[in-house]
Amino acid sequence: MLSNVTLFCFFASYLCALIVEITRLWLKSSVTRWVAIGFAFAGFVAHVAYLFERARASDLPPLLSSTHDWLLVLAFLTVVIYLFVSTIDSSLGFGLFLLPIVVVLVGVSRFVNQTTGAGLSVTRGWGMLHASMWVLGAVGVVIGLVLSVMYLVQHRRLRQKSLLEDGLELPSLERLGRLNWWAIIVSVPLLSMGMVTGVGLSLASDPAAQAVRLTQPSIVISLLSWLGMMVLFAWLLVARRTPGRLVAWRTVWAFGFLLLTLIVLQVFSHGGVHGIASHKPSAISLASVTLNPQSSTLNPPS
């Protein structure tokens, strides 16, 4: 039963949830809200089943098995946040901004490395720590990016006095600014721990089997993106009074660039999300992947 679940099952469910969220701009009712939540929850169940089957087949947790599974874990955690917020808060805005990222993550996972490597033996525990910090930090990046875009949209609507015209419900600027500040403060240290453990694992691994070099372009770009976020993090800590709009714009640039480079590099570079290449499964490092769309498809089950 679980083996019949394909990527298309939850991709289509999340896409339907997004479409319903868009229609709520004109059809504001509790029915459409729960329909959107229902589609998202159906995709969530299929998502869990898919990851469970992949983990059972590879005998590895999804965070360590392949880039394909790692991206799906990131999408999974994002959906959990969407379901939680949408259930306790009837406001429209969050899902409208968050679900597009979920759909993109699931869609992109189709085009990255889907080959699972062998067990990681001695470094498996440290590899799990590295992968966990990296994915939790990435969730914070997604949330921070969404909150910043929501802030900018709400700021524009207030200036143009169009709050009652487009049917979009968003939190106040003060609340969005406060939540965005916390997203930055939490996500940057998590990503930093992920970076440090990734570099440590790369240096400690066998040079003859090391799948990723710290000097290769994908790693250098990732480090530059992280440095950009560290600058934003330090600025927030030392600045006494920072305009919320300025924080939102800098978050969009820093977090948006990191998320974009993360996705693009994983599609076009070589190795695994933590340097776990299928031909050299003992090596662990920072994020990069091989284009190898073979094991799952976006086609519906027959």
Residue 144 belongs to some domain of the structure: yes
- What confidence score (pLDDT) does residue 287 get? 36
Whole-angstrom distance, CA of residue 204 vs CA of residue 285? 10
Give the three-class secondary structure for 150: helix
Give the three-class secondary structure for 23: helix
Considering the chain, what is the average pLDDT of its residues?
76
Whole-angstrom distance, CA of residue 266 vs CA of residue 245? 31
- What confidence score (pLDDT) does residue 288 get? 34
- Only one residue has tokens 């990222």, namely 101
CA–CA distance from 178 to each of 84, 182, 257 (Å)?
Answer: 19, 6, 22
Q: What tokens were used for 49? A: 């089943």
Whole-angstrom distance, CA of residue 194 vs CA of residue 286? 9
What is the rounded end-to-end Cα distance, in angstroms, of the chain?
A: 13
CA–CA distance from 205 to each of 38, 120, 198, 218 (Å)?
Answer: 45, 11, 11, 19
- Only one residue has tokens 């469970």, namely 52
- What are the tens digits of pLDDT across the range 59-112? 888 887 788 898 999 999 999 999 999 888 766 678 899 999 999 999 998 888
CA–CA distance from 115 to each of 46, 61, 74, 176, 270 (Å)?
Answer: 20, 13, 18, 40, 12
Q: What tokens were used for 174? A: 């003060």
| Global pTM value | 0.78
- What are the tens digits of pLDDT across the range 212-247? 555 555 566 667 766 777 777 777 666 666 677 777
CA–CA distance from 144 to each of 93, 137, 150, 259 (Å)?
Answer: 14, 10, 10, 11
Residue 72 belongs to some domain of the structure: yes
- Number of other CB atoms surrounding residue 133 within 10 Å: 20
CA angle 230, 253, 179 (to 5 degrees): 70
Which residues have a Cβ under 8 Å from the Cβ of 55 and sit 6 or more positions away? Answer: 61, 62, 65, 69
Q: What tokens were used for 274? A: 């933590």
Whole-angstrom distance, CA of residue 272 vs CA of residue 116? 9
Residue 152 belongs to some domain of the structure: yes
Which residue segment(s) compose the domain that 71 sits in?
Answer: 2-268
Asked whether residue 207 carries a pLDDT value surpassing 70, the answer given is no
Domain count, the chain: 1
Under the banding of pLDDT at 50, 70 and 90, the label for residue 257 is confident
